[in-house]
Structure 1
Amino acid sequence: INMEEIREFAKNFKIRRLSLGLTQTQVGQAMTATEGPAYSQSAISRFEKLDITPKSAQKLKPVLEKWLNEAELRNQEGQQNLMEFVGGEPSKKRKRRTSFTPQAIEALNAYFEKNPLPTGQEITEMAKELNYDREVVRVWFSNRRQTLKNT
């Protein structure tokens, strides 16, 4: 198994995938449709990070290579062709992860010390005060309670 060759391909695969504007999920879904269910988003991710066994990487490389060449060919024929090949519309985008300011974390922790289970109204007020979405604050409290439970 030539790991250097596989390492080089994994790096190029990611660059070429991104240049086509495709997500790991889209590649996984498209490959599952043509090659079978062994090609999930996480399989693509692990391959790109080389977080798999050399034997798995060796088996995956030719399949990914063939698929990517076909995708690039379709893209040269037009973006419409590529999207048909990949499987139509890309799935709904996930919301970006929220980054809290240190001040917001301090305030949220202070609220949490007083009351780990705020009412909907209290969450709405905190969200307004801190300038975050209400849902983000609600989830922060939920995650914080879970963290406390797990420690």
Structure 2
Amino acid sequence: MKLRNRNVEKLHTDDFDALIIGGGINGAATAAALAGKGAKVALIDRGDFAGSTSMHSSNLVWGGIKYMESKDFALVRKLCKSRNHLIKSYPSTVQEIRFLTTITKGFRHSPRYLWAGTWLYWLMGNGFTKLPRLLSP
């Protein structure tokens, strides 16, 4: 509580380049980006930091693979670039998580079609993540 009181007092006595209101993921990322550029930043929230919407999120940063099916390649490319930037900028907190999916008989796309799609997705992300793999029984 002493640290909090000291920090609140600094809001009255110190000068800041930016005041970020909202300590969720967007506010925290904005504050970190500005501080990384040398700005003196104050971040405030009405409750605990990351204690509301951010607390209930999946905490996943993704490249938009679901938009491959609708062939919205411009959006996929943009999301992949943003994901890559976050991984590069915050390597201790943003890391790749691999996922595994199964393809059941009669699925609307063939395994080869899905395999080609994952490779295209990987290429659209500049090959930044680990290579896609195909596991078979």
Same-fold call, TM > 0.5? no
Which has the larger strand fraction?
Answer: 2
Determine which structure has greater relative contact order: mean sequence separation of CA pairs < 8 Å that are 6+ residues apart, divided by chain length: 1
- Structure with larger Rg: 1
TM-score normalised by structure 2 residue count:
0.26
Greater fraction helix: 1
When normalised by structure 1's length, the TM-score is: 0.25
